[in-house]
């Protein structure tokens, strides 16, 4: 079953990194679309059928994450679509809360280490760990626990 991922980010390097992480998952059943602007992201979201939407929280100097996430959440309501916020900057606790309240399941800092990102993508896209020969089950669990610990660490600590 093909999984569909939408990346909404104004930086080409983000697209290239996500594309490479998908390639390293060693499964041909993932499609990736890239929207370079919030407006394109909304248009893509309206097409429907997304399993995962990664939303950059900062476009240029504008912090629009919660607003964009909220708009996309309304569009994909009733669909089985997961929305994750991504940012390369540290967020305050309030900013992170705003994104979660707007509809993001989670907010991560760009970009986790390769294996951590692959573990996150596997989890977010509900892929079986057996699709990748590169991670043992134990290592996958260890990385998931590490990721959870990082998410619970207070910002600014």
CA distances for 39 relative to 8, 21, 27, 34, 45, angstroms = 9, 25, 30, 12, 10
Domain count of the fold of the chain: 1
pLDDT tens readout for residues 34-67? 999 999 999 999 999 999 999 999 888 888 999 9
Longest alpha-carbon distance in the chain? 41
Residue 157: inside a domain: no
Q: For the whole model, what pTM was predicted?
A: 0.76
Pairing of strands 58-59, 62-63: antiparallel
Domain with residue 71: its CATH number is 3.40.50.2300
- Are 112 and 21 in contact by the 8 Å Cβ rule? The answer is no
């Amino acid at each position: 079953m093909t999984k569909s991922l939408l990346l909404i980010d104004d930086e080409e390097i983000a697209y290239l990194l996500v594309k490479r992480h998908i390639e390293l998952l060693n499964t041909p059943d993932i499609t990736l679309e890239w929207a370079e602007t919030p407006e394109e992201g909304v248009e893509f979201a309206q097409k429907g059928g997304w399993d995962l939407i990664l939303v950059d929280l900062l476009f240029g100097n504008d912090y629009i994450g919660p607003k964009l996430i909220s708009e996309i959440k309304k569009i994909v309501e009733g669909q089985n679509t997961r929305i994750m916020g991504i940012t390369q900057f540290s967020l305050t606790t309030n900013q992170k809360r705003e994104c979660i309240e707007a509809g993001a399941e989670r907010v991560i800092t760009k970009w986790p280490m390769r294996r951590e990102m692959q573990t996150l993508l596997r989890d977010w896209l509900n892929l079986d760990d057996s699709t990748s020969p590169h991670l043992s089950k134990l290592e996958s669990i260890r990385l998931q626990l590490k990721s959870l610990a990082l998410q619970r660490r207070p910002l600014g600590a």
